[in-house]
Amino acid sequence: MLIQLIISGLALGSVYALIALALVLIYKGSRLLNLAHGELVTIGAYFSLAIIVQIKLPYLVALFPAVVVAGIFALIVERIVIRPLAGSEEWPILIATWGVSITIRGLIGLIWGHAPRPLPSPFTSQHLRWGVYSISGQELVIIITSLLMLLIFYLFFTRSKSGLGMQAVADNHLGASLCGISVRRINALTWIVSGMVAAVAGITVSPIFFLHVDMGFGLFLGAFSAAVLGGFGSIIGAITGGYLLGVIQTVTGGYMPAAIKSSVPFVILILVLVLRPTGIFGKAVIERK
């Protein structure tokens, strides 16, 4: 029972880890929290649904155009909302991104309605059994995709020029721009990349959880809690926190009533912020002025 729950928890945790990674990327790049990030997850999932149903592409092929659409969407948000507010205080940006989140949710509701829909995937019906334990094909896809994404990210950050530029901008805006790095371009790139990561998370998770307008927001809240658990602002922390939270939430859900399962991320968020605001890996001061 416990080990089975941990296996399912790892799948949920992979999703949290990816979204939390995207959140932390944006936070490190431009010191802001994107409340609309869950909606990028939702957009990716709904676009892949549209592509699969309308154009009848196979699941794994539909992933790519949907991810590109989410990246473009993230760029549009960055251009219209974030860039004009660059250099302002923390909270106007926070509220503006919440406005973006509400707008996108309303638009998705207008276009696709509120009924939960399944995302057809060939992997959901297959199960891999090993003794008494079993793992569904989709869960395996989620775990493998997230590990693959993390590997790509590692290579991107350490080997590519843009990745190094992102690290430089995250460390010090002024210093990076003095070295000839275009901070604006890097920030736009950060948004595109994190929008794409969010979309990948959304497309891989929605065959298990149904597609719904609010699914992204729920995942976003979980991912934020995960990032805080790992130490907000630390990439390793976001990934560890994601896996940890996924396991904790699934195990709690297995032994307790279902209503409690959805509250687990907030309880953990409040507990971490009260007891150890820096999280597991965080060393930065949480009260940033």
Q: Where are the alpha helices (DSSP H) in 86-214?
A: 90-112, 137-159, 161-171, 173-178, 183-205
**Coil/strand/helix, residue 221:** helix
State which of residues 12, 22, 26, 33 lies at the interface with another protein (CB under 8 A). Answer: 33
Give the separation between CA 77 and CA 38, rounded to whole angstroms.
Answer: 13
Cβ distance to another protein smaller for residue 35 or 149: 35
Q: Does 280 bind another protein (CB under 8 A)?
A: no
Q: Does 110 bind another protein (CB under 8 A)?
A: yes
For residue 159, the tally of other CB atoms under 10 A from its CB is 9
Cβ distance to another protein smaller for residue 6 or 117: 117
Question: How distant is the alpha carbon of residue 251 from its chain centre?
Answer: 21
Q: Does 116 bind another protein (CB under 8 A)?
A: no
Q: How far is the CB of 233 from another protein (least distance, A)?
A: 12
State which of residues 1, 54, 89, 132 lies at the interface with another protein (CB under 8 A). Answer: 89
Token pair, residue 276, equals 């150890």
DSSP 135: E
Roughly how many angstroms between the first and final C-alpha of the chain, as a whole number?
Answer: 46
State which of residues 55, 60, 95, 284 lies at the interface with another protein (CB under 8 A). Answer: 95
Contact footprint for another protein (CB under 8 A): 32-33, 80-81, 84-85, 87-92, 94-96, 98-107, 109-110, 113-114, 221, 224-225, 228, 232, 259, 262-263, 265-267, 269-270, 273-274, 277, 286-289
